[in-house]
Amino acid sequence: MCGIWALFGSDECLSVQCLSAMKIAHRGPDAFRFENVNGFTNCCFGFHRLAVVDQLYGMQPIRVKKFPYLWLCYNGEIYNFKQLQKQFGFEYQTLVDGEVILHLYNRGGIEQTASMLDGVFAFILLDTANRKVFLARDTYGVRPLFKVLTDDGFLGVCSEAKGLINLKHSTSICSKVEPFLPGHYEVLDLKPSGKVASVELVKFHSYKDEPLHVACDTVETLPSGSFDLETVKSNIRILFENAVRKRLMAHRRIGCLLSGGLDSSLVAAVLLKLMKEININYPLQTFAIGMENSPDLLAARKVAAHIGSEHHEVIFNSEEGIQAIEEVIFSLETYDITTVRASIGMYLVSKYIRKKTDSVVIFSGEGSDELTQGYIYFHKAPSPEEAAEESERLLKELYLFDVLRADRTTAAHGLELRVPFLDHRFTSYYLSLPAELRIPKNGIEKYLLRQSFEGSNLLPKEILWRPKEAFSDGIASVKKSWFSILQDYIDQQVDDLLLEKAVEKYPFNTPKTKESYYYRQIFEKHYSGQSNWLPHYWMPKWVKATDPSARTLKHYKSATQE
């Protein structure tokens, strides 16, 4: 996890523009480099480094003797860089996994490069010999990327929007800062003046398609075309374990977030099992956060005891959570209600990890709810086909919601997140299964995933079959939800009259509650006029919900009252 920043065709002094690059210093606390591009005095790269691999030669932009005309600034992890080296006979100059991007590009161009990378990434690749700039982002947008491109060809690129919003340019108003779309690459021509012109934006991978890099995966070919239940369950176990195994690539200590829910518990259990197998000589640290006696803390305790991790509990009170709201919204760059709620706990636990431990590479369970239909409202899906469509929509929008939350809250404290549920091969296989296999069954969501690990003894049975509890709900008690605590506080902060006139002040995504108005006010304070970064609020489907919390849904209420 790093922070990348680049400008092409800047009219202003680069030493002044460089101040914007410092806005993302939290993403790379170990080192910083600012480098001009030879022959293009108004083009530059900025890089904040979190040293996870090759601590000696890992600074960026990466340049190697074999390709002196290529400059690479990237944020991510490429898990198959050694397999690609073996397959194509690449000769690496460093131990940095991202160096493979240079070799792939030289061999087959940008399309093959983006398609063959098994990992999470956002990169800026400059080819001065052919005067091209390339931008690319992984399938689910696990690694963030933003850009701004003006009509006269000034381009700014950054890991977070906050590194672009204050850039200076000769035209009085800079164009809109926008998130770069996941699963796409963009080709831009670099003019002698240093300005650029966009040539094409190409979608290189759809999450439903088996990725091209399967050809050099470490897992053997799976039985294809067979949807026999035992075969399916076996394949799910094999691919999930493989997803965790490939993410063990790190020279820094590995830890794991553990809420005690199914997703983080499976990740932690498989992670610890594999760490033992490859003789990693330190205990796995697991981290849970919640208010005193919250459901998440109690469940996480059970899991940690079962798997034998070195478990840490972070207990916070409502005042600490409320005090963190503004810094959380600044870090997130969004005002989405459920994202803000869930981010506060994750932000506080990440802060603890950074200050109190030496774990840096942090595993987490993001992506499972979207992939395996884990949200409670999936019980109300009219048909398996509509449930499958909704699952795909949620995956497509992950970069706006849960993936955004997971990245920003951990990156704010210089941690690197790893999310095995969003492994390309695992997700494409799961999505290839018949729609009726993936729906909730017997009143239980993620039924197939749970079934697949039954009998493995990885988790206690009550955890494997624990009902869905949203992270922002599970950190508080059942008697009073976290969202209720927030709403009670905010009710005193926002006047009724302000909410009544909300449509005049905020015509786009107009806040309907005092809570959403409060978050929007804070967002606009830091990112005025950028409300379009959030196309719509996250809300459950097929139910008449006025709040995104699962605890407001009938299914949850009936389950807790039984």
345 is in an annotated binding site: no
488 token code pair = 């009670």
Residue 365 among known ligand-binding residues: yes
496 is in an annotated binding site: no
The reply, when asked if residue 224 is annotated as ligand binding, is no
Whether 257 has a binding-site annotation, put simply, is yes
174 is catalytic: no
Please state, in angstroms and rounded to a whole number, the distance separating the CA atoms of residues 12 and 17: 7
Q: Tell me how far CA of residue 147 lies from CA of 128, 137, 186, in angstroms.
A: 20, 12, 11
Task: Name the 3-class secondary structure at 309.
Answer: coil
Distance from C-alpha of 203 to C-alpha of 78, rounded to nearest angstrom: 19
Pair of tokens at residue 10:
């800047």
User: Among residues 2, 73, 158, 256, which one is catalytic?
Assistant: 2
Residue 424's nearest CA partner among 97, 140, 111, 145 is 140
CA dihedral sign, ordered 353, 357, 360, 366:
negative
Distances (CA, A) of 512 to 337, 364, 471, 503, 551: 11, 32, 23, 9, 19
Q: What is the DSSP string of 187-244?
A: EEEEPTTS-EEEEEEEE---TTSPPGGGGG-SSPPPP-S---HHHHHHHHHHHHHHHH
- In this structure, which amino acid lies at residue 209? D
Token pair, residue 469, equals 């509890």
Binding site feature residues for ATP: 257, 289, 364-365
Binding site feature residues: 97, 257, 289, 364-365
Instruction: Please identify every residue annotated as catalytic.
Output: 2
Binding site feature residues for L-glutamine: 97
